[in-house]
Amino acid sequence: MELTSNAATTIATTVAITAILTIASFFTTRRLELVPGESQTVVEGIVDAIRMAIAGVLPEHVNLVLPFVGTLWIFLVVANLAGVIPGVNSPTSDLSTTAALAVLTFFFVHWAGIKSVGTRAYFLHYLEPNPIMLPFEIISELSRTLTLAVRLFGNMMSLELAALIVLGVAGFLVPIPLLLLHIVEALIQAYIFGMLALVYVASAIQTQHERLAKQGVPA
């Protein structure tokens, strides 16, 4: 019963965050102007920051990667910071949420690779240099996805657990430093997860382009 309650709470929080972000995106982008107002300036600043981060890793495919990685980063920041609100747990402190994000990243990595070089060329690299490597490639892909899910879950769960322990021992004598620690760690974990997803996408795309270039095939 407790697990069901926790799952329901996680789902409710995740749906609420998604709804809030969707509504905020709608209202901040429905009337874009050449001379931006305050809200448009903030949104453009966030998008430009994400675009520059992606361009530093994958400069030739920014537009391909930006929608997914940008959405992932924004969601993770809000989801991680949700734990700062009294009585609310971060959805990312639940393994089901981080696993879902990792699975989405897994599929997007392969979609981006296929989109970049084509289906046949992309999947052929799993058979090179020898088809016997295919099982190891599959294990590598699955373990990478598992690691991505467990890393964020473990860090966020331990962060919230540490906050509860400190509050239980010291009461509310140290709320501000603890709150700042939570905010900083939440932002760091969101950045790391998004950056790892970006690196995986870049690896899938760039490896295929390099392989095709060596074969003299235009990408």
**Residue among 64, 77, 75, 91 at smallest CA distance from 22:** 75
User: What digits encode the pLDDT tens for the residues 140-161?
Assistant: 888 888 988 898 888 888 877 7
- The answer to which of 10-14, 30-34, 144-148, 206-210 has the lowest mean pLDDT is 206-210
- Rounded Cα distance between 174 and 180, Å, is 11
User: What digits encode the pLDDT tens for the residues 77-110?
Assistant: 999 988 877 778 889 988 899 999 999 999 999 8
What is residue 1's predicted lDDT score, i.e. its pLDDT? 41
Label residues 104-131 b or e (16+ Cβ within 10 Å = b).
Answer: ebbebbbebbbebbeeebbeebeeeeee
Domain boundaries, the chain: 2-214
Residue 6 has pLDDT above 60, yes or no: yes
What is residue 2's predicted lDDT score, i.e. its pLDDT? 46
User: What digits encode the pLDDT tens for the residues 18-56?
Assistant: 999 999 888 888 877 777 777 788 888 999 999 999 998
- Rounded Cα distance between 40 and 43, Å, is 5
**Residue among 25, 65, 103 at smallest CA distance from 195:** 65
